[in-house]
């Protein structure tokens, strides 16, 4: 019998062999894409048409997990482009028929020809007659606007004729098109063309599904996507039309805390959030998935600031009402054990003293848990520069050894019927009763750190258009005595200045927000204004007054010999009391794009320069930055800590903020010497103007009073600068600028027609350490001996 069955099947073997060969030929050279599935995102429930499902619990401590950035089936793993099912695929869909007007796959014994194609993405309005930007639906947006074209055979893509040249899409349309392009298999596999039109058709079908997920992620829950293939075009033209339809908005939302217990505090506790509007997502806002999920993530964050460090989202359910065009949400939150803050416990140190790190905490043991205080503590530890990793958090009661108390880790609701096993979810159909008193639990603030290297030695070649070529050698120790003390020794040697410098900084001196600062240098300098051989030393304190505000005071002494155009070389000695007040509300220290800065410095001096003198030197600097043109946020390090502005508030246009593609920057500065004439004080504390950090277009220190053509400095100055900083790419930018200013003999600076103006253009090369700057400028109202061009090379923005 088996022999007869084998003989009966023998005629079918050639057909089976041909089928397998065709499948292998179809997959020959195909680019396989596979992604490991990530954790499931919250699923949507709907009584109208929304997808049904349930969501696993979301750990609020890991709310930044990228896999949770979508609803339901909005962003599952990408559909692989395989044309044949894998050996383990038991439910693969059948291969669809080729689109009308196309030929079937080539025979297996014939050579395989790659199908070169180009793809365009087009937004179609509801009526289907014209595009939102006025272009015919048969046309395409220009490259770089709302379409993407790619030739997949290595040759330039052929332009596709359009009925009209539409304007660029608005920000909302561009966001949709960018999202669809990023999710598109046709776009991502453009360099790996398929072997047949059937393969191209399968890619297009996958793109239709991905595009509809992107539409839902942006709040267009009735949106559709439809693709078409023009096989007669060369290369083959693939067109994906997006029909977003109406954008849905946030409807009714509810937050329920299923294990609420009253925090152990004597003061009345603030009410917990009850709707997503309480955490910043108001009804009527666009129902974009990122915005909704971010609001859900803010619910446990708000509870952590109210004394519940273990708060987490237990479940979140979403319902789409197509009739009302709204997205509703019901969120259940486990607040966890109400907790008081204990002292920090530091682990992982080697050479850093743990007691010093513990002294940086600014909370009082026994106060209700406040995550904001924990965040401040974490940032202080990171700001020391001593650690490569810092982790700070509460210790659960089960891990702290505090047992035998009510509320010892059970997640049962206070009204759970007797006999219900611990951890059983409550009856979600009942309203949450009034909070019951919680167990008083005090958690230590567990702090784990990993120390990085503490010593650095280096050097290099440098060039500055003011000081000329130079070399630099330095050595630095950032933990000299075990409490983050930094000692830095530098030897910068320039053509016009030779120095030896030492600086010392001791953080948390006497209090966590105060530093002890010391500095000294010896210098030999030759310039057009004066020749100097001198030494300097200072000692002072600096303290943070509030976020963005800093003040300092100290004592200083300077002495040596100096020669200027006013007379022969003379010795001098002076003592000063430097004072400063600074506010920094910008988003970046080295390259700000928004915010303001201001600094006032006042130094009374007394000393001897031929004759005794007493003088007060004052200076005020103000600058402001404003983004004129935003783009896609591809610039790292643009925001302050945690994606916030310099004043600690989130950027107005979202957590990522603008990338500062075009920034208007303006600055103004003024200074005055009061109590003595400029000729009665050493030239090193007089005011000078001109150069890369002053009025560009004029030589270094050349503005102001002169004697025999040499600058002698003045008693006051005034300056203003304006720049348009345009970032061409992530690493390159151009900066047209206008500078004005002058130096005056009077104690009060003059403005208006007394100012010298210069204009020019610069190039910026952006690095992690800040931008490299090259500027060329010309004076607009030059004096007889001013050169027509000045060149400046330096590190960092001009202000």
Tens digit of each residue's pLDDT (9 = 90 or more) over 21-76? 333 333 333 333 333 323 333 334 433 333 333 333 333 333 333 333 444 433 33
Is the predicted pLDDT of residue 110 greater than 90, yes or no? no
Of 435-444, 546-555, 631-640, 773-782, least confident by mean pLDDT is 631-640
Residue predicted with more confidence, 357 or 127: 357
Polymer length in residues for the chain: 799
Of 171-185, 281-295, 341-355, 603-617, least confident by mean pLDDT is 171-185
Q: How far apart are CA 433 and CA 640, in angstroms?
A: 41
Is the predicted pLDDT of residue 758 greater than 70, yes or no? yes
Q: What is the arithmetic mean of pLDDT over 663-690? A: 93
Largest separation between any pair of C-alpha atoms in the chain: 127
For residue 144, cis peptide bond before it (omega within 30 degrees of 0): no
Q: What is the arithmetic mean of pLDDT over 533-548? A: 95
Instruction: Give the pLDDT of residue 37.
Output: 29
Q: How far apart are CA 597 and CA 583, in angstroms?
A: 6
Residue found under tokens 């002698």: 712
Decide if 716 contacts 746 (C-beta within 8 A).
yes
Residue found under tokens 């303001």: 596
Q: What is the arithmetic mean of pLDDT over 435-454? A: 81
C-alpha distances (whole Å) from 265 to each of 273, 341, 432, 440, 543 are 18, 12, 21, 9, 32
Q: Check residue 68 and report its DSSP letter.
A: G
pLDDT digit string, tens, across residues 459-469 = 988 877 778 88
**Alpha-helical segments (H) within 42-116:** none
Which of 58, 445, 440 lies closest to 261, judged by CA? 440
Could you give the strand order of the β-sheet that contains 312-321, starting from the edge strand earlier in sequence?
249-257, 326-334, 312-321
What is the Rg, in whole angstroms, of the alpha carbon atoms belonging to the chain? 35
Q: How far apart are CA 602 and CA 469, in angstroms?
A: 33
C-alpha distances (whole Å) from 710 to each of 314, 703, 758 are 76, 10, 20
Q: How far apart are CA 298 and CA 750, in angstroms?
A: 53
What lies within 8 Å, CB to CB, of 757 at 6+ separation is 695, 697, 738, 739, 740, 779, 780, 781
Return the sign of the alpha-carbon dihedral for residues 260, 265, 268, 269.
negative
CB atoms inside a 10 Å sphere around CB 449:
23
Is the predicted pLDDT of residue 746 greater than 80, yes or no? yes
CA 335 to chain CA centroid, Å, is: 30
Q: What is the arithmetic mean of pLDDT over 673-701? A: 92
Decide if 146 contacts 173 (C-beta within 8 A).
yes
Residue predicted with more confidence, 303 or 54: 303
What lies within 8 Å, CB to CB, of 62 at 6+ separation is none
Q: What is the arithmetic mean of pLDDT over 447-475? A: 89
DSSP helix/strand/coil, 212:
helix
Is the predicted pLDDT of residue 89 greater than 80, yes or no? no
E strand or H helix that includes residue 717: strand 716-727
C-alpha distances (whole Å) from 313 to each of 42, 293, 300, 560 are 11, 11, 7, 68
Instruction: Give the pLDDT of residue 439.
Output: 61
In the structure encoding, which two tokens stand for residue 453, read together?
């290297």
Is the predicted pLDDT of residue 207 greater than 90, yes or no? yes
Is the predicted pLDDT of residue 526 greater than 70, yes or no? yes
Q: How far apart are CA 218 and CA 299, in angstroms?
A: 22
Return the sign of the alpha-carbon dihedral for residues 6, 8, 10, 13.
negative
Q: What residues form DSSP beta bridges with 670?
A: 620, 718
Q: What is the arithmetic mean of pLDDT over 772-793? A: 93
Q: How does the average pLDDT of the chain come out, rounded?
A: 77
Instruction: Give the pLDDT of residue 693.
Output: 87
Decide if 594 contacts 645 (C-beta within 8 A).
yes
Instruction: Give the pLDDT of residue 752.
Output: 73
Region label for 212, one of left (φ > 0), alpha (ψ between -120 and 50) or beta (otherwise): alpha
Is the predicted pLDDT of residue 185 greater than 60, yes or no? yes
Q: How far apart are CA 269 and CA 257, in angstroms?
A: 15
Q: Check residue 768 and report its DSSP letter.
A: T
User: Nearest 5°: phi and psi at 49?
Assistant: -145, 5
In the structure encoding, which two tokens stand for residue 760, read together?
């020019």
How are beta strands 514-526 and 716-727 bridged, if at all?
unpaired
3-state SS, one letter per residue, for 289-307: HHHHHHHHHHHHHHHHCCC
CA 282 to chain CA centroid, Å, is: 25
Angle at 128 between CA 127 and CA 134, to 5 degrees: 95
Which of 642, 547, 628, 542 lies closest to 585, judged by CA? 547
Of 124-133, 488-497, 557-566, least confident by mean pLDDT is 124-133
Q: What is the arithmetic mean of pLDDT over 542-568? A: 91
Of 96-105, 419-428, 522-531, least confident by mean pLDDT is 419-428
Instruction: Give the pLDDT of residue 112.
Output: 55
**What percentage of the chain carries pLDDT values higher than 90?**
52
E strand or H helix that includes residue 399: helix 397-400
Residue predicted with more confidence, 770 or 60: 770
Q: Check residue 680 and report its DSSP letter.
A: G
Q: How far apart are CA 520 and CA 557, in angstroms?
A: 10
Decide if 518 contacts 546 (C-beta within 8 A).
no
Instruction: Give the pLDDT of residue 121.
Output: 92
- The four Cα atoms 558, 560, 566, 568 give a dihedral, to 10 degrees, of 170
Q: How far apart are CA 660 and CA 594, in angstroms?
A: 8
Instruction: Give the pLDDT of residue 165.
Output: 46
On the CB side of 377, how many CA atoms lie within 13 Å of its CA? Answer: 27
**What percentage of the chain carries pLDDT values higher than 70?**
70
Buried b (16+ CB within 10 A) or exposed e, 701-723: bbbbbbeeeebbbbbbbbbbbeb
Q: How far apart are CA 756 and CA 740, in angstroms?
A: 5
Residue found under tokens 């000695």: 573
Beta strands in 87-219 (DSSP E): 117-123
Instruction: Give the pLDDT of residue 243.
Output: 93
């Amino acid at each position: 019998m088996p022999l007869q069955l084998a003989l009966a099947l023998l005629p079918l073997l050639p057909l089976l062999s041909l089928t397998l060969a065709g499948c292998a030929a179809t997959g020959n050279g195909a680019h396989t894409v596979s992604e490991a599935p990530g954790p499931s995102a919250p699923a949507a429930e709907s009584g109208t048409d929304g997808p049904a499902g349930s969501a696993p619990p979301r750990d609020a401590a890991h709310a930044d997990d990228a896999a949770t950035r979508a609803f339901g089936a909005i962003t599952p793993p990408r559909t692989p482009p395989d044309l044949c099912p894998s050996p383990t695929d038991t439910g693969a869909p059948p291969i669809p028929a080729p689109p009308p007007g196309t030929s079937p796959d080539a025979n297996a014994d014939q050579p395989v020809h790659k199908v070169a194609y180009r793809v365009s993405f087009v937004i179609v309005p509801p009526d289907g007659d014209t595009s939102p930007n006025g272009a015919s639906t048969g046309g395409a947006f220009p490259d770089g606007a709302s379409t993407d074209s790619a030739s997949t055979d290595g040759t330039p893509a052929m332009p596709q004729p359009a009925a009209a040249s539409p304007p660029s899409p608005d920000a909302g349309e561009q966001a949709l098109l960018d999202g669809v392009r990023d999710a598109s298999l046709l776009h991502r596999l453009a360099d790996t063309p398929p072997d047949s039109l059937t393969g191209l058709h399968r890619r297009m079908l996958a793109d239709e599904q991905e595009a509809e997920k992107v539409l839902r992620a942006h709040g267009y829950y009735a949106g559709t996507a439809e693709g078409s293939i023009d096989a007669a075009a060369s290369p083959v033209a693939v067109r994906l039309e997006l029909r977003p339809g109406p954008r849905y908005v946030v409807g009714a939302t509810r937050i329920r805390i299923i294990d609420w217990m009253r925090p152990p505090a004597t003061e009345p506790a603030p009410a917990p959030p009850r709707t997503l509007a309480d955490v910043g997502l108001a009804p009527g806002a666009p129902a974009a998935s990122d915005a909704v999920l971010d609001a859900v993530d803010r619910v446990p964050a708000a509870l952590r600031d109210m004394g519940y460090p273990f708060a987490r989202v237990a479940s979140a359910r979403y319902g789409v009402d197509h009739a009302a065009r709204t997205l509703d949400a019901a969120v259940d939150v486990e607040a966890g054990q109400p907790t008081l803050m204990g002292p920090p416990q530091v682990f992982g140190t080697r050479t850093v003293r743990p007691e010093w790190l513990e002294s940086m905490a600014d909370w009082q043991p026994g106060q209700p848990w406040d995550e904001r205080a924990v965040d401040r503590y974490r940032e202080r530890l990171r700001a020391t520069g001593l650690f490569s990793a810092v982790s700070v958090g509460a210790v659960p009661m089960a891990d702290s050894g505090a047992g035998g108390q009510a509320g010892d880790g059970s997640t049962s609701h206070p009204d759970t019927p007797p006999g219900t096993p611990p951890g059983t979810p409550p009856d979600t159909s009942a309203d949450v009763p009034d909070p019951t008193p919680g167990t008083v639990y005090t958690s230590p603030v567990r702090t784990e750190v990993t120390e990085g290297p503490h010593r650095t030695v280096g050097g290099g070649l440098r060039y500055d258009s003011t000081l000329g070529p130079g070399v630099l050698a330095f050595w630095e120790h950032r933990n000299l005595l075990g409490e983050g003390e930094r000692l830095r020794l530098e030897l910068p040697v320039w053509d016009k200045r030779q120095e030896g410098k030492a600086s010392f900084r001791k953080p948390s001196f006497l209090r966590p927000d105060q530093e002890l600062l010391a500095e000294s240098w010896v210098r030999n300098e030759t310039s057009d204004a004066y020749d100097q051989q001198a030494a300097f030393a200072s000692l002072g304190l600096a303290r943070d007054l509030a976020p963005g505000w800093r003040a300092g005071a100290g004592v200083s002494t300077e002495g040596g010999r100096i020669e200027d155009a006013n007379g022969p070389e003379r010795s001098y000695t002076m003592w000063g009391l430097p004072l400063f007040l600074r506010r920094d509300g910008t988003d970046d220290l080295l390259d700000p794009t928004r915010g303001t800065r201001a600094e006032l410095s006042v130094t009374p001096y007394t000393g001897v320069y031929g004759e005794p003198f007493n003088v007060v030197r004052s200076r005020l600097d103000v600058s402001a930055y404003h983004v004129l043109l935003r783009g896609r946020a591809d610039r790292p390090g643009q925001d302050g800590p945690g994606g916030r502005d310099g004043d600690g508030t989130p950027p107005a246009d979202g957590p990522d903020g603008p990338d500062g593609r075009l920034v208007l920057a303006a600055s103004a500065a003024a200074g005055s010497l009061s109590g003595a004439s400029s000729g009665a004080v050493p030239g090193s504390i007089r005011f000078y103007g001109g150069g890369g950090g002053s009025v560009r277009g004029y030589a270094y220190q050349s503005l102001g009073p002169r004697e025999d053509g040499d600058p002698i400095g003045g008693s006051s100055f005034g300056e203003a600068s304006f720049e348009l900083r345009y970032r061409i790419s992530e690493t390159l930018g151009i900066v047209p600028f206008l500078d004005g200013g002058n130096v005056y003999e009077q104690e009060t600076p003059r403005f208006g027609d007394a100012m010298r103006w210069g204009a020019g253009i610069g190039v910026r090369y952006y690095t992690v350490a800040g931008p490299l700057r090259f500027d060329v400028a010309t004076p607009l109202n030059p004096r007889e001996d001013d050169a027509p061009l000045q060149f400046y090379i330096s590190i960092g923005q001009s202000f």
